[in-house]
Structures are given as structure tokens and as C-alpha cells.
Structure 1
Amino acid sequence: MTTTQTLKFETPDQGEETARADLYGLLATLYSAPPSQDLIVTIASARSEGDGVLQHAWAELVSACRTAQAEEVRDEYETLFIGVGKPEVMLYGSYYLSGFLMEKPLAALRTDLANLGLERDESVPETEDHIAMLCEVMRYLIASNDIGQDSLAGQQAFFANHMQPWLIRLCDAIDAHPSARFYRAVTGLARSFFEVEIQAFDMA
């Protein structure tokens, strides 16, 4: 299981499920590592139309990318999510669910991933409860061609068990940090998208 390294934007002939998978993939990419200048430029050149909450959040990220420089974004990422010793903002679910890393929530997640036939790539340093890894799993569940892996019930169960209980707290932590600039725009998109997902799953 690895984080997404490529990005495809929604086009008018793509379905809603493809758009969902793409957005999870984008968030996985942005939270796994600071973006390259090429990716920043790609997002900056994307269309930002529509009046909905999610469309507005996307427009904010597009706007942020139009003035962002990769080196500055890298410094921000390292300040927020790496730091010296303990990161300023944790990106791991176990921290928000139990107060510690490598705790029972991670063990439960690993069990569910094993049942899905997924495991962490040994070259990836982050544990499976990293937000980027979880977004990548959701992308896989939506886009997978494996029988049974792309069911809405499976997506809903994974999201409800391993993401929904703590995602908004993560977004709040990033928004509240004084060093968050580019990643405040990223998180605005993430928050809006996660809230749409929560509402959609509740109605399913």
C-alpha cells in the first residue's frame, strides 16, 4: 500500500465515484509529503468553478497554489508535521483516538487492512493510521476492480471505523496552528470533502 504519486482532475465525462477517488488520491499525495512545484502548478492551473462548499474549498486551494513556492511549502510541511522531536500536528489516527501512537486503534486498523488483502509497503515510513495512508485506502476501495472491494458498504465501514471519529479534530488542529498557510487551504478542502462524505454515508 503506497500513497498516490499521480493526480488526475475531474472532467465533465467522469463519474462521481471517479471524482471521489481522485480527491482522496490528491489528499493522500498532499499529506504524505510536501508537493513538488510541478504539482503546485498543476493544481494552480485547474478550473475552480461552482458555488457549493466543496467547490469553494477547491477554489481556495487553487488560489493558494497560484502564489505557492515548493520550498516554502516544504518548510511549512516540516514545521507542522515533522519538526524536531514531536511534530506540531500529528497526522496519525491513533493519537487522536487514544492519545498515543502505535496503540489499539492501529492494531484494529491493521486487522481490517489484512482482511482487505492490504498491507503497508515496507519502504513507506508512516504507519497505516497516517491520514495519507487512510486516504489512499479509500481511493483504492472506490476505484478497485476487485470484486467486493468497491462496495459502498465496505467504504462506509472503513471510513466510519478508522477515519470519521478523528478527522475533524485533525482539521481543527491544522487550522489553529499559526504556521499553517498552504496547508490551511489543503485542510479546508479536506474538511469540506470529509463532511460531504459523512453526510453521504449517513444517507446511504
Structure 2
Amino acid sequence: MTQTAHVTDTKDEDRLRADLYNFLGVLLARPADQMLLDQSAELRGDDSPLGQAINGLARVAKSTTPQAVEREFTGLFIGLGRGELLPYASYYLTGFLNEKPLAKLRKDMVGLQITRSENTFEPEDSMAALMEMMGGMIVARFGPAPDVEQQRGFFNNHIAPWAAHFYTDLQGAKTSVFYAGVGAVGHAFMEIEKDAFRMAAG
């Protein structure tokens, strides 16, 4: 997933967007194995804030191990009883799990033909799941590709209200080393998406 400075083809641009959403989703869903770390280490960015964040993540990926990342992941998201962060929209927006943001998301998922995987046990409003959903929507994985208006609605309703806060917390968490890089990439990408959707609305 190479960060490209100028992409003129809309389909190529959407594919890059989907790839980055899916990449973040995979990184947040489970500890990175050696293959994913190797892929992360090969990333190259430009001089933009997102490109610089990608380069920073690549540098950290080169110097870490799957064992270290697994310890980080456990400390951040699992811990003894609970991790340092609770990466769920309901928690960030209400202070509790399984609240109205999750109910609203489930309703919208039905309309978009997005179904929960049978082997998934966590609430659907995790940042990992939301990144995967956005990536899948862009490339029509769940059915006909939602238009820009539908994508913007999903992003503004379920991701934008808390994504910047979460990714900032991920960057600053005590346990974060590799995941500080993930947080930097996520934060920069969310800013780009927010601005792009705002411009598309105009």
C-alpha cells in the first residue's frame, strides 16, 4: 500500500482509500504477525502528513517483533480485566459499552446489507470493524457500492464523532510503540477523509 502523491483516476483513488481502511482494520483487529510487519515495513509515503505517518509506521515495523506487538496489543486492548483503551464508539461517545451508537450502527448495517461475521464476538462498533466496513463499502464488498452521499453519512454518523479522539489516544497510550504509528496513520487518514467528504458535500 504505497502512498501516492497524486492520483487522478477515481477508481484508483477509491482502491487506495479502501486499502488503507482495510489495513487499519486488520492492524486493530489482532496483533500483527511477521508477514504484516514485513508489509508495513515496506510502506513508503510522501511529504504529506499521511505520508510522513506512513513512513514513521514503516520505521517502527522494521525494528519490532510479533512478540512485542502482541504484548502491546494485549496491554492496549485486553489487559487484566480491560486494556488501556476501549476502542468502541459506544464507550467513546457515552462512556458505556453497547449503548445507542451501537444500536444505530446495527440499524444502518441492515440498510447497507452488512452482516456480522459468525465468528465475531466483539461489538460491531469497534474501530477495527468500522474501518473494515468502510473499506468494504468503497469496493462494493457487501453489495452495490454506496454512493458518496451514503459513504459520507456512514462516516459522519459512526466514525467521525470519535475517530480523531481514539487515534490520538492510541498515539499517546503508555503501551503504544508500534501502535503509536498506527494511531498517527489513522489520525492523518481520518482528517483527509473528513475534509474530502466536506468538500464533496459542497
TM-score norm. by structure 1 comes to 0.90
Q: Note the residue ranges of structure 2 that are not aligned, 5 or more in a row.
A: none
Aligned mate of 1:151, from 127, 130, 147 = 147
> Given that residues 41 and 61 in structure 2 are in contact (C-alpha distance below 8 angstroms), is that contact kept between their aligned partners in structure 1?
yes
Shift of 1:49: 3.8
Equivalent-residue separation in structure 2 for 1:141 and 1:151 (angstroms): 9
Shift of 1:172: 2.3
In structure 1, the residue matched to 2:188 is 192
> Given that residues 81 and 87 in structure 1 are in contact (C-alpha distance below 8 angstroms), is that contact kept between their aligned partners in structure 2?
yes
In structure 2, the residue matched to 1:179 is 175
Aligned mate of 1:127, from 104, 123, 128 = 123
Superposed CA deviations along residues 17-40 of structure 1, whole A, max 9, x for unmatched, are 100000000000000001101110
- Provide the aligned C-alpha RMSD in A: 1.7
Equivalent-residue separation in structure 2 for 1:181 and 1:164 (angstroms): 24
Q: Which SS does the other structure have where 1:34 is aligned? A: coil
Equivalent-residue separation in structure 1 for 2:2 and 2:71 (angstroms): 26
Equivalent-residue separation in structure 2 for 1:33 and 1:9 (angstroms): 22
In structure 1, the residue matched to 2:28 is 31
Shift of 1:10: 6.4
TM-score norm. by structure 2 comes to 0.91
Q: In structure 1, what residue type is equivalent to 2:166?
A: L
Q: In structure 1, what residue type is equivalent to 2:15?
A: T
In structure 1, the residue matched to 2:80 is 84
Count of residues in correspondence between the two structures: 195
2:137 equivalent to 1:141: yes
2:34 equivalent to 1:41: no
Superposed CA deviations along residues 152-193 of structure 1, whole A, max 9, x for unmatched, are 111100000001001111122222222111000011000000
Equivalent-residue separation in structure 2 for 1:64 and 1:49 (angstroms): 14
Equivalent-residue separation in structure 2 for 1:56 and 1:49 (angstroms): 6
Moved over 3 A (4+): 8-14
Q: Percent identity?
A: 36
> Given that residues 10 and 22 in structure 1 are in contact (C-alpha distance below 8 angstroms), is that contact kept between their aligned partners in structure 2?
no
Superposed CA deviations along residues 22-66 of structure 1, whole A, max 9, x for unmatched, are 0000000000001101110122123x1421111111101111111
The within-5 A match list for 1:88-127 is 88-127=84-123
In structure 2, the residue matched to 1:16 is 13
Q: In structure 1, what residue type is equivalent to 2:28?
A: Y
> Given that residues 34 and 77 in structure 1 are in contact (C-alpha distance below 8 angstroms), is that contact kept between their aligned partners in structure 2?
yes
